[in-house]
Amino acid sequence: MIENYFSADDILEFRIWMRYADRFVVISHMAPDGDAIGSSLAMCRYLKSHGKEAVVIVPDPAPDFLMWLPGADDIIVFGSAPDKAEKLVYKADVVCCLDFNVVKRIDNIASSFLYTKAKKIMIDHHPYPGATFDVTLSHPEASSTSELIFHLICALGDFSRIDREMAECIYTGMMTDTGAFTYNSNNASLFRVVSRLIDMGIDKDVIYRRVYSNYSEDRMRLQGYVLNEKMQVFPEMSTAIITLTQDELDRFHARKGDTEGFVNLPLQIKGISLSIFMREDRELGKIRLSFRSVGSVPCNILASDWFHGGGHVNASGAQYDGTLEEVIARFHEAMKAWKKSDSESIKQLFRKKQKR
């Protein structure tokens, strides 16, 4: 039996707005990943199946390897069409907020989002949701927001409305947010959902190749450069870091999404429990950080306490105002407290709030 995450009150609240609202806007976070795009497109397609006006808006473009998803061509990028996007947000009856739980994650959409009179419904799987939403459907125990969309549709009694295209979007979100089911996925219910999606006609092998085997030659050479020149390993701390400057990214003609997955590479090294990827984003004027860990090592606490980020125990992110050199120095500051190389010492370090 497939687990139902939602209470009767949750379903009643959503059902009311489904009945009386006509115009829906689905928004997700900046630097949208597979779960953000997959869940948003699935939700949009579901709303349209009920005859609703629905559109997906994101702050900036999705990576090329996600643009094959059904409906991706209709996504509105706020940064490219701010006037059009603002009008849609202001006119909406309901704004569905997917795969984020604090307003700062939607960047340039935030102003119109805060001022719209639309009902704001948040559906997300990250911990510690903010208080900006009218309805909060938060389930950090779920593998992904895409999985939550599947459960929500089923709880609304609309399983039959999930077609192959919607199933492809949901599966892509689940797959990418679990590293192709290599973390945050040891759950039998999750694979029962996957089984139902396969029954609907998706080809999981084709989806995997479209996402993970669709790189350019430049991207492959960038990965080789990263592993040979830019990865630093600290075995005494069970940690590795990768750093990239904007100039280095430009040298390899890096496109959006080309660095996806780099943070996972050091975790293939025996004894490495924590990996951090730091890259310069000249356009944003910040340093983007990705954190991954294995087992009970809580990389989200490191992201939160030292870099003002957050996320899940084994997968987190942050944006830091400063230079790459400053971020690296801050990393070393955190590492000074590590006395042993076992993961328990790492856990104890990150559980202690550091004084700045």
State the number of CA atoms in the 13 A half-sphere of 167 facing the CB.
18
Asked if residue 223 and residue 110 are part of one domain, the reply reads no
Is residue 2 in some structural domain?
Answer: no
Name which of 10-19, 46-55, 56-65 the model is least confident about: 10-19
User: Over 70: is that where the pLDDT of 350 sits?
Assistant: no
Asked if residue 240 and residue 184 are part of one domain, the reply reads no
Q: What percent of the chain has pLDDT over 70?
A: 94
User: Over 60: is that where the pLDDT of 352 sits?
Assistant: no
Q: How far apart are CA 95 and CA 85, in angstroms?
A: 12
Q: What percent of the chain has pLDDT over 90?
A: 80
Asked if residue 139 and residue 31 are part of one domain, the reply reads yes
Is residue 271 in some structural domain?
Answer: yes
What pLDDT, on a 0 to 100 scale, did the predictor assign at position 51?
Answer: 97
Q: What confidence category does residue 342 fall into, taking pLDDT thresholds of 50, 70 and 90?
A: very low
Of 174, 197, 212, the residue at which a domain comes to its end is 212
User: Over 80: is that where the pLDDT of 339 sits?
Assistant: no
Q: What confidence category does residue 1 fall into, taking pLDDT thresholds of 50, 70 and 90?
A: low
Is residue 356 in some structural domain?
Answer: no
Asked if residue 163 and residue 57 are part of one domain, the reply reads yes
Asked if residue 242 and residue 111 are part of one domain, the reply reads no
Which DSSP category does 32 fall into? -
Domain range holding 292? Answer: 217-350
User: Over 80: is that where the pLDDT of 67 sits?
Assistant: yes
CATH of the domain at 223: 3.10.310.30
**What mean pLDDT do residues 11-30 have?**
93
Asked if residue 174 and residue 26 are part of one domain, the reply reads yes
Q: What confidence category does residue 337 fall into, taking pLDDT thresholds of 50, 70 and 90?
A: low
Q: How far apart are CA 168 and CA 174, in angstroms?
A: 10
User: Over 70: is that where the pLDDT of 346 sits?
Assistant: no
Asked if residue 282 and residue 197 are part of one domain, the reply reads no
Can you list the alpha helix ranges (DSSP code H) found in the chain?
8-20, 34-49, 82-91, 110-115, 145-155, 164-176, 188-199, 204-212, 217-225, 246-251, 299-307, 324-335, 343-350
Of 212, 243, 260, the residue at which a domain comes to its end is 212
Asked if residue 253 and residue 160 are part of one domain, the reply reads no
Asked if residue 138 and residue 25 are part of one domain, the reply reads yes
More confident residue, 346 or 177: 177
**What mean pLDDT do residues 34-52 have?**
98
Asked if residue 128 and residue 18 are part of one domain, the reply reads yes
Of 147, 179, 212, the residue at which a domain comes to its end is 212
What pLDDT, on a 0 to 100 scale, did the predictor assign at position 341?
Answer: 39
Q: For 205-240, how does the pLDDT look when each residue is reduced to its tens digit (9 = 90+)? A: 999 999 999 899 999 999 999 999 999 999 988 999
**What mean pLDDT do residues 335-349 have?**
56
Supply the mean pLDDT for the chain: 92
Q: What confidence category does residue 4 fall into, taking pLDDT thresholds of 50, 70 and 90?
A: confident
pTM over 0.85: yes
Number of structural domains found in the chain: 2
More confident residue, 1 or 148: 148
CATH of the domain at 139: 3.90.1640.10
Asked if residue 125 and residue 50 are part of one domain, the reply reads yes
User: Over 60: is that where the pLDDT of 353 sits?
Assistant: no
Is residue 92 in some structural domain?
Answer: yes
H and E: helices and strands count for the chain: 13, 12
Is residue 355 in some structural domain?
Answer: no
Q: For 139-183, how does the pLDDT look when each residue is reduced to its tens digit (9 = 90+)? A: 999 999 999 999 999 999 999 999 999 999 999 999 999 999 988
Asked if residue 176 and residue 131 are part of one domain, the reply reads yes
Q: For 237-272, how does the pLDDT look when each residue is reduced to its tens digit (9 = 90+)? A: 899 999 999 999 999 999 988 999 999 999 999 999
Is residue 72 in some structural domain?
Answer: yes
Is residue 3 in some structural domain?
Answer: no
